[in-house]
Copies of this chain bind each other. A is one copy, B any other.
């Protein structure tokens, strides 16, 4: 692929990326069953006689990650995992994260339990690392404090404000907690108080109440506006065992997106696959909407219409460092293939190709997250 590209385009593809969407990866050594679970979306063992290595991601690990651990490409799973254990998780993570060629990790989560924190990820990956604050996580910590409704709401506001002062962006998983077809407007004070009362009667559950989710989003919107922070929305059909995946289509959130327009808060639609074309349309239609797609097909199809200043690289990596490295590699390979085609068809100039690669790879993220 690379051979078909002019030097300056190949260089632009290899330039350091801003990974504006990744999660913590495991810092401990992993036995095979644990590793397999982390490279699947089902969170379940593979059926008898099968292995989760027999998947697009599993083959990519063997093909592209094995050489980073000094193995031949396509090493068998057992060989790969034995070598990974031999090197130790820290060394494996260091090699994989450095090979990603990332200049800054914007991390949603990490630091809990066996997951590398942003600081550790940055140190191992030779990069800066900044935090994206997951709104529902903040709420769940506040809900667990055993407050009464009014104190809970005050505390929630102060805590979101406080966290916002130390991060580069906010994020919400309302897509998976309720669905993106939530009502657009600010909920009334009365409705929020009633919902808070119900919430505090059972504060251990994950937050799923649509009134409180909306309250949290509007609170976040005000804070984001004041601090010029973007809000990320992981969309799509929602990871492990979703219950209403079609409600993760970002098109269903268009009413809320419109309502945010006057605030000029950037809305980042993340990993919307298989609704990535809908996300690209929203990014084209609304000046404050951006799209970030980790899957190669989604990137390619988004480039059918989205403005180049509206797309952002993000590996979407989570669980094992392989996913971050492969996210970056897949981005470069997919974009490289697309640019090679555009150049071969004489549609874009090499200078255009360079600019597109730079904008999506790091330039847009630097602008939006003010890095």
Chain A interfacial positions (CB closer than 8 Å to B): 1, 40-42, 44-47, 49-52, 54-60, 63, 73-74, 236-237, 239-246, 249, 251-252, 254-255, 258, 261, 273-274, 277-278, 281-282, 284-287, 295-297, 301, 303-309, 345-349, 351-352, 355-356, 359, 367
Contacts and interface: CB of A to CB of B under 8 A. Distances in A.
A240 B254 CA distance: 11
Given A50-B309, A349-B74, A277 B281 contact: no
A297 B286 contact: no
Nearest to A52: B307
Given A274-B281, A287-B47, A309-B46, A246 B252 contact: yes
Given A47-B367, A49-B367, A54-B308, A245 B282 contact: yes
- Which of A1, A63, A278, A285 has the largest count of B CB atoms less than 10 A from its CB? A285
A304 B309 contact: no
A89 to B, nearest CB: 25
A359 B297 contact: no
Contacts of A359: 54
Contacts of A278: 237, 245-246, 274
Nearest to A277: B274
7 contacts: A42-B284, A54-B307, A55-B307, A74-B349, A74-B352, A237-B281, A237-B282
Contacts of A296: 304
Task: Give the dominant DSSP class at A's interface.
Answer: loop
B295 A305 contact: yes
A237 B251 contact: yes
* Number of identical protomers: 3
A348 to B, nearest CB: 6
A41 B285 contact: yes
A301 B309 contact: no
Given A59-B347, A74-B349, A287-B47, A54 B309 contact: yes
Contacts of A282: 237, 245
B285 A242 contact: yes
Contact of A246 (B56, B251, B285): B251
A246 B249 contact: yes
A72 B224 CA distance: 45
Given A245-B281, A295-B304, 4 more contacts: A40-B284, A236-B281, A245-B282, A246-B252
B304 A40 contact: no
Nearest to A303: B56
A242 B252 CA distance: 10
